[in-house]
Structure 1
Amino acid sequence: MVEKTGRPGYLQIADDLRSQIQSGKLTPGATLPSTAELCARYDVSASVVKSAISVLRTEKLIIGQQGKGVFVREQLPAAPSEVSSDGESELLRQLVMMREAVQDLGQRVADLEKIVLSERKRSD
């Protein structure tokens, strides 16, 4: 279950799944639970789970296959040029967070527009 710590739920889920991958509980090639199962496990909406999955995809820990599921990626040794510094990792994490925040705001605006439009129709 996602805790109310001030840290976004999708990051808490990503942290938990990342920990399971790094500890070997979820091994390379293993299938992640379905979105519905993760929603139930963490008591969150599908959009929160999808955001967490997006973070792990960006980190190249998992890979999705259309119609088959999401799988733990085989971890290949990184070439020296592929190793990112802590600053680059932090920047990437912040960019992912910003993208998710913008998506959330877009959905909120769309929801508000629907409400405003339906109220206008009723008053006419």
Structure 2
Amino acid sequence: MEQLSELFNVIGGIVTTILLPLLGVFMFHDQKKRKEEASARKAEAENITSYADEWKELYEKKENKVHELDAKIDQLYVEKNEDRQRIRELMEKNAALEVDKIKLESRRCDVKGCENRQPPSDY
């Protein structure tokens, strides 16, 4: 009986040594598989997020460049309008000076210091 008890102990030890790890592998295989799938999904989501961040950054840079160009165009239009105003003012001043020149030429005396002023004028 004692031998039988020892035999059962040895067989039980062998079974425990061999079957418990195999049983553990089969029992926790689903859990390991789910854990690997979750980590794979997380890595994929992080990859997609990084792509989205890169595209967003490129879009924002492009938008900033467009806004800078729009601001530059607006500034150039302001300068153009200022130049047009300055040209208009100079043309008006030039026309006024031409009129004054014509008036003064008609009053100019060809004989200086003379009572017989040519052309005659009230001056």
- TM-score over 0.5 for the alignment? no
- Structure with higher RCO (Cα < 8 A, 6+ apart): 1
Which one has a bigger Cα radius of gyration?
2
More helix by share: 2
More strand by share: 1
TM-score (norm 2): 0.31
TM-score (norm 1): 0.31
